[in-house]
Amino acid sequence: MDNSISNYILAIVATDEKKVLPGGCPVILASDQEEQVKVSLLLARILGGIVHDLENGLYFICRH
């Protein structure tokens, strides 16, 4: 199994810091949902990943 960085979550974008625990990957806090969507899409482009919406106020970017 390949354990390179491409198999991990690259970033998490949240609006509520209480929903994420520190460690593991970068967490970006957005001030509202509009900023959250924009930042998530920009990060996905920059990092070459895909945005996934967990539908609980968290978005994460990973590479498949």
Six token digits for residue 38: 């924009």
* Tally of domains within the chain: 1
Can you tell me the mean pLDDT for 11-19? 94
Can you tell me the mean pLDDT for 57-62? 95
- By residue range, what is the domain housing residue 23? 5-62
Q: Global pTM?
A: 0.84
Per the document, the length of the chain is 64
Residue 12, pLDDT above cutoff 70: yes
Count of CB atoms within 10 A of residue 59's CB?
Answer: 24
Residue 2, pLDDT above cutoff 70: no
Task: Say if CB 50 and CB 63 are below 8 A apart.
Answer: yes
